[in-house]
A = this chain, B = another copy of it.
């Protein structure tokens, strides 16, 4: 019966195995996030997962394999399409603000994982490919499709989609870092970022944009308020 609930055909044993694997990954993610990959020790992870050191090696080949596992699982959980499909109905600007706001809010977790994973990813070929495939590639593809669609709809003008999308993603990644560095103005105005970004990305810095946007160009002004710090 219990098995029926499981979509996987897995026996009790298999399910237990997956649960154990999960709890190890949970522990690893937690420890990696808080101390970084190199500073984290297998023992800590084992402790956090409430298993013995050796047990971990029954599920993962080595320490780096834990990272791959974490990434794979994160990617699995990601449900960007949902957000997109839902927001696709609105205008792009709204979508951007929405999507960014949503993403930026989740950034705190992401930031930790980034901190945990990135150093190693930058250095480890295998992880790098994995990371690119799981994250960069997927998001890039989604966004590209979206932008293409919007261009076709006349909602976005005919820019270089591939590059533009990458620029946007780059900005997102860069913001993660800026946050990590504890940049004050950024932190205190964190919730203004999505709109500021929207202004930048949609309206551009070009002053003549104002003429278009009209008097209602609230964002540009609103941001001025955050100009302090």
Where the two chains meet, the residues of A that have a C-beta atom closer than 8 Å to any C-beta of B are 35-39, 92-93, 114-115, 118-123, 128-129, 131-132, 136, 140, 154-164, 166-175, 177-178, 180-183, 185-186, 189, 192-193, 196-197, 199-212, 220-229
Contacts and interface: CB of A to CB of B under 8 A. Distances in A.
Contacts of A204: 200-204, 206, 209
B202 A136 contact: no
Contact of A160 (B122, B136, B172, B223): B223
Contacts of A203: 204, 206, 209
Overall SS of chain A's interface = helix
A222 B178 contact: no
Given A119-B123, A163-B189, A163-B226, 17 more contacts: A115-B123, A118-B122, A121-B181, A132-B181, A132-B182, A159-B224, A161-B227, A166-B186, A167-B193, A167-B196, A169-B174, A170-B172, A170-B178, A171-B171, A171-B174, A173-B174, A200-B200
B115 A224 contact: no
A2 to B, nearest CB: 27
A180 B136 CA distance: 12
